[in-house]
Structure 1
């Protein structure tokens, strides 16, 4: 070893840089939890949540006041049970197995009929949006059948299908189908033609244009149609269950009305509202990852 190297003191050795240092003994750094927490606790989100809770509380207070004072001013609350009675009835039903059976049967019908409607509606809407011949052929059927309410389909559906279960699913399917088809068609029609021509000028095939230009442009409308279709499917399902069902939350509500059980009527209505809201929120949550590009373009 040379004399110059021996004269360098130990404390003058330069420590290795960050890339050469070993990882801390406790392992890798944790995920950015504070960042996620700040995202969840955004002021506008907290404000929206607070206003929603305040609105619900005001509605429950008005309901309690109107039912306790037997309010009869245009709307008659004399026979409307108060929130306390409804909540007590709801807790009682939570302890029975048949109540969960009603909810399970309704959810099964919704999942099956809505899945068929979503698959057929999106596919048909995409084809109609890109083919004038198919649109001219199919649109008259949609415009004639779409205004028919679900209740009007019940007698014919019972005659058409071999079982009551199949007729209920068919009616629910029709309710979800038309919003999905029309919103998908609208989304395809709103695709900027300049993007299609640009892809054509670059040599893209029709299938590539459809998959990389038309479908992404139509996704916002498709997402809206799926959410609307879920709400309409619940309306159609309940209409079918009221008339021809033996199980389901719609049958539960109608049976409570037949027995003049006012508390259970409101319980059924609130459960329907909660299930409809939760299922629509689930649809929006599932389609949200497909729409991330919207935030990047803002």
Structure 2
């Protein structure tokens, strides 16, 4: 049985599609925004079917998924480890956090020339850009999660004879888990954003490359296909991270919304 919550969600999507259809088919001009050259949903569906029939879809998907997985997993390992260290040690925070905060605001596009110079292959440079995009949300949310652990719980564990390892594994990490999971979900979304930016310049296959190639040859429907694929992949992968997070943290349940 479909949950009642899905009714407004599906309705909102259908209303967006209806607006898109009306605006594109009637070439609406809203002043600052014009839909004269925007393809209709039907044209986008036809372009998506053509991409599937051409056999190139799996090439693009496999290339992008491989790059995202490699960069994201590296960011998970390094971001969580550094976040725990910085969150637990004031000295580590003083030494490590300032240079990381300087690097954090740099956009993915700015990293591309340096990545091309640093790495011998374009594949490694794209993985690196994906890594930088995912690293900072994971790192900062881990730091905030570790710092937000109730000190009374740590003091209680110490009074019961727990060592540093036991406190880390049984108190700090479980307490920081909600923040870490939030960072993992955000990092997954930003990794897709950064990967697409890199693929537009350095890739030969991938969803970002496909979108940019469609723009250069003015296949407008294919551009929208690429954009929707990016959105669906990002939404699906972030949702998967959140679901896995809830599965592995049964002790944490977010407060209900009114």
TM-score greater than 0.5 by the shorter chain: yes
Q: Say which is worse superposed, 283-292 or 212-221, in terms of deviation.
A: 283-292
RMSD after superposition: 1.5
Partners of 1:85 and 1:59 lie apart in 2 by: 16
Question: Where do 5+ consecutive residues of structure 1 fail to align?
Answer: 1-40
Aligned twin of 1:225: 183
**Which of 141, 147, 150 is residue 108 of structure 2 equivalent to?**
150
Deviation at 1:237?
0.2
| Structure 1 residue 56 corresponds to structure 2 residue 26 | no
**Which of 150, 162, 166 is residue 192 of structure 1 equivalent to?**
150
Name the TM-score, length of structure 1 as normaliser: 0.83
Aligned twin of 1:265: 223
Residues 162-191 of structure 1: CA distance to partner in whole angstroms, max 9, x if unpaired?
A: 010010000000000000000000000000
Deviation at 1:134?
1.0
| Structure 1 residue 71 corresponds to structure 2 residue 28 | yes
Matches within 5 A, 1:1-298: 41=1, 46-73=3-30, 74-295=32-253
* SS of residue paired to 1:147: coil
Partners of 2:255 and 2:117 lie apart in 1 by: 52
Larger radius of gyration: 1
* Equivalent residues, number: 255
Residues 76-99 of structure 1: CA distance to partner in whole angstroms, max 9, x if unpaired?
A: 100000000110111111112222
Partners of 2:148 and 2:190 lie apart in 1 by: 24
- Which stretches of structure 1, 4 residues or longer, exceed 3 Å deviation after superposition? 295-298
Q: Higher relative CO (CA 8 A, sep ≥ 6), structure 1 or 2?
A: 2
Deviation at 1:113?
0.6
Say whether the 8 Å CA contact 1:101–1:248 is kept in structure 2: yes
